[in-house]
Structure 1
Amino acid sequence: MATPKFSRPDISFHLELKKRISDYFKEVGYSQTGNSQLFIKATVLVVAFLAFYVHLVFFTPHWAFALLECVILGALTASIGFNVMHDGAHGSFSRYQWLNKAAGMSINFLGANVFMWKTKHNVVHHSYTNVEGVDDDMNARPFLRLCPAQKRYKIHRFQHYYFLLTYSLLYLYWVFFTDYKKYVTQRVGLVPIQKMKVMDHISFWGFKLIHAALFIVLPIYVVGFLPWLVGFTVYGLFAGLMLTVVFQLAHSLEETAFPLPDVQTNKLEDEWAIHQLKTTANFATNNKVISWVLGGLNFQVEHHLFPKISHVHYPAISKIIKEACCEYNIPYLEHAKMRLAFWSHVKHLKMLGRA
């Protein structure tokens, strides 16, 4: 299956959006990348992560407090991914490329691999959002049916009851299976990854060994196998749950579309920007705590349209994008509260499980 093509209208809404956003940054005189606000947040998150890691491994508290700290460590892992790695991998963390590279490589210390991530996320997901058979982020088979084009199994009738359990497995599955699958097959789903250089191979295996040493070997040596197993499982499950729920609340809802290319032409109906607007939704954008923790990924519309702009600018440019959508009569999907987006996702799963 060849990757589909997007329509090319005579009057491009995407070009109009880019002009308006460019004019905004010229007017305010800001860089489109991160600023001191982001750098301070990144420092707080990384220092907090290191502090909880050291306390858990070398000064292990009573088991009840230890489990709570494992949950917090999982939340910090996800938040570093949202705030530091994500902007870095998109080249929007800083105006300096070496700093973007360093921020992006934070995912390597947390067990995953930034080289594989860039193909899966930056190239495939951002290009072909919600397109079944191409967007690998929609693939949770056979456990979940996330879009109408996927085959329905009897178990899916109950998926709106057990989906959180499946989501919680994402981080552990990602770190210990899917990265290796991509490495061996040299593909993300149907899409080939960029040819790996010698240093890419060394980085892949070197950081996998570092992660194993820091998160498996050392903790087992210090606290013992069973305490490590319980703690690491709680940590991994919570990180996976947080990572997956944020993604699903942006793309897998009652309101979002799941376009398929024309069978004859292999072309999608809309141009790329409009495709993104139909397949992506915001949630809780007025909640500053959620926006801070999630690295602005509750502003998914803005992120998908302008992935090279740092999330610290999303609240400002969201007003411009929303106004343009209103003028051109193009949908701008959002939920005022996170719980409303969550409920929409549950109803979406329920509908797909019984349809």
Structure 2
Amino acid sequence: MAAPRFTAPTNDFFSELKARINDHFEQKGTSPTGNSKLFTKAIILVLGFVGLYVHLVFFTPPAWLAVLECILLGSAGASIGFNIMHDGAHGSFSESKWLNNIAGLSLNVLGGNVFMWNTKHNVIHHTYTNIDDVDDDLDARPFLRLCQSQKKYKLHKYQHYYFWAIYAFLYIYWIGYSDFHKYFTGKVGDFKIAKMKRSEHISFWAFKVLFAAFFIALPIFMVGFLPWLIGFLVFTMSTGLVMSIVFQLAHTVSETHFPLPEAKTNKMEEAWAIHQLKTTANFATNNKMVSWFSGGLNFQIEHHLFPKISHVHYPEISKIIKKACQDYGVEYIEFPRLRTAIYSHIMHLRQLALAN
């Protein structure tokens, strides 16, 4: 499928919104990138992750504690992805380019690849959000049907029950298969990936080997195969479940839209900014713990409209965006609590399970 085109804006909504956001940062005299709060959080998360890893591998805690620590390790890994890697890959972690690059490389340390992520997430997902056959985040086939335009299989009848298990395996599928598939095919879906430099090829393989050494070989040597296997599955499944829930609540809920381009013109009905607001939802934005852990990805509307702004500023600029939406009569989709967003996601899956 060729990349669809967006309709030209019919009003000055987004230009006015950008002006209001720029005024906000100018009046405060602050940078839209990360600040000391983000850097402190990054240090806490990295130290916590390293501490858990060292204790698990070198100090051999009792089984019950090891399982708990593997869950915490997976959650910490997901939070590093949300807070450090995500901002770094978008260039919003710091004003320094090399710090952003280092933050982005945290994904490589955790077994992924930031080069592949930039194409899949920054380019495709952020541009063509919730457009089936374009946005790779919607492709969980054949296991899940995430929008009406996708083919329905018999197993989808129960997807609102078993989706938790599918999500739990996202991380291991991502680092163990999906990255390699993109690397060898040179594509994300139907989109060609930019030609990789020699340094990017080296980085891809070097970090994959490094991950295998630290998360497979060394733990097996230290604790044995079976304890490693159980711990590795608990770790990766915890990471996958947390990551999936946070990202799915932002786009695949009953209230969001899944528009398709007009067949003849391959043109979207809405302008890009309106499209983002119709396909994106916020959740639990008053819950400071959720915001801290998820790297502000519960403020997904703010992130999709202004991905170059660090998540530490989302609570402030959300007020500006809400006001602009009210002024221009644009819907702003938001769930007050985490559980209401999860319920909406389950109902969305159920609806698709029942619909033809």
Shorter-chain TM-score: what band?
Answer: over 0.9
**1:159 alignment partner AA:** Q
Show CA shifts across 1:222-250 (max 9, x none).
10111000000000001000000001101
Tell whether 2:32 aligns with 1:40: no
Residue 31 of structure 2 is matched in structure 1 by 31
Moved over 6 A (4+): none
5 Å-filtered alignment, 1:1-355, equals 1-355=1-355
Cα distance in structure 1, aligned partners of 2:97 and 2:124: 22
**1:292 alignment partner AA:** W
- Percent identity over the alignment? 61
SS of equivalent to 1:105: helix
Cα distance in structure 1, aligned partners of 2:349 and 2:227: 35
**1:26 alignment partner AA:** E
Residue 11 of structure 1 deviates from its aligned partner by 2.5
TM-score when scaled to structure 2?
Answer: 0.99
Q: Is the 8 A contact 1:159 1:353 kept in 2?
A: yes
Q: Is the 8 A contact 1:282 1:334 kept in 2?
A: yes
Cα distance in structure 2, aligned partners of 1:97 and 1:324: 31
Residue 190 of structure 1 deviates from its aligned partner by 1.1
Residue 179 of structure 1 deviates from its aligned partner by 0.1
Give the number of equivalent residue pairs. Answer: 355
Show CA shifts across 1:208-228 (max 9, x none).
000000000000011011100
Cα distance in structure 1, aligned partners of 2:266 and 2:115: 28
Q: Is the 8 A contact 1:70 1:234 kept in 2?
A: yes
Cα distance in structure 2, aligned partners of 1:67 and 1:250: 29
Cα distance in structure 2, aligned partners of 1:216 and 1:97: 32
Cα distance in structure 1, aligned partners of 2:17 and 2:153: 41
Cα distance in structure 1, aligned partners of 2:193 and 2:199: 15
Show CA shifts across 1:6-52 (max 9, x none).
00124232212111111111111110000000000000000000000
**2:171 alignment partner AA:** Y
Q: Which blocks of at least 5 consecutive residues in structure 1 are unaligned?
A: none
Q: Is the 8 A contact 1:283 1:341 kept in 2?
A: yes
Cα distance in structure 2, aligned partners of 1:297 and 1:30: 21
Residue 154 of structure 1 deviates from its aligned partner by 1.0
RMSD: 0.6
TM-score when scaled to structure 1?
Answer: 0.99
Cα distance in structure 2, aligned partners of 1:174 and 1:300: 22
Cα distance in structure 1, aligned partners of 2:122 and 2:2: 18
**2:309 alignment partner AA:** I
Q: Is the 8 A contact 1:14 1:272 kept in 2?
A: no
Q: Is the 8 A contact 1:5 1:266 kept in 2?
A: yes
Residue 194 of structure 1 deviates from its aligned partner by 1.0
Cα distance in structure 2, aligned partners of 1:195 and 1:145: 32
**2:281 alignment partner AA:** A
